């Protein structure tokens, strides 16, 4: 430990694509990684919410399911700016900035929910190399609820983006 220094060197300190470690973390089974999604309220104030449904689609695309009555949904529809924080053992701590939009207005798995897509603009590394992340935000579900969430996440991942009117 005497040779370790407090510094922030990283090959992906600020980049456009999600690093492989973050993609792998977000693909973990239901409940193992919860992301914090920040949006902008109508008055300009930040609004955060925890989502266990954030999934990587490509290195530049994330999706998650969101209830249409939720403040996050209203904020995305009005102002698509988002920031997503992901913390997962042993070494994932990233901030993901992007533009969000609704790609499916109503989900089959949960009709009150919509699928939100985030087009990634920048990813910053917030991990301190001399440290280890021991735990992140997690939750546990079992039985039928776990199966429903698996179907929900499969729908989030498979959603076809809405076509823009030509």
List Cβ neighbours of 98 (8 Å cut-off, separation of 6 or more).
62, 82, 83, 84, 118, 119, 120, 121, 122
Question: Domains in the chain, start-ordered, CATH in brackets?
Answer: 14-158 (2.30.110.10)
pLDDT confidence band for 160 (50 / 70 / 90): confident
pLDDT tens per residue, range 8-66: 545 556 788 999 999 999 999 888 999 999 999 999 999 999 999 999 999 999 999 99
pLDDT tens per residue, range 113-147: 999 999 999 999 988 878 888 988 888 888 888 88
List Cβ neighbours of 142 (8 Å cut-off, separation of 6 or more).
none
> Helix, strand, or coil here: 75?
helix
Question: 């924080």: which residue's tokens?
Answer: 85
> Helix, strand, or coil here: 97?
strand
d(CA 73, CA 65) in angstroms, rounded, equals 10
> Helix, strand, or coil here: 21?
helix
């Amino acid at each position: 430990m005497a040779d370790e220094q407090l510094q922030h060197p990283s090959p992906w300190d600020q980049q456009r694509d999600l690093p492989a470690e973050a993609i792998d973390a977000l693909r973990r089974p239901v409940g193992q990684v919860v992301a914090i999604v920040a949006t902008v309220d109508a008055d300009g104030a930040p609004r955060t919410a925890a989502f266990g449904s954030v999934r990587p689609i490509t290195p530049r695309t994330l999706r998650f399911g969101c209830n249409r009555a939720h403040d996050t949904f209203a904020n995305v529809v009005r102002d698509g700016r988002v920031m997503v924080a992901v913390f997962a053992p042993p070494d994932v701590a990233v901030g993901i900035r992007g533009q969000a939009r609704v790609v499916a207005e109503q989900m089959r798995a949960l009709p009150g929910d919509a699928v939100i897509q985030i087009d990634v603009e920048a990813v910053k590394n917030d991990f301190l190399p001399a440290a280890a992340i021991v735990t992140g935000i997690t939750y546990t579900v079992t039985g039928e609820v776990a199966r429903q969430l698996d179907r929900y996440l499969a729908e989030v991942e498979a959603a076809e983006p809405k076509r823009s009117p030509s």
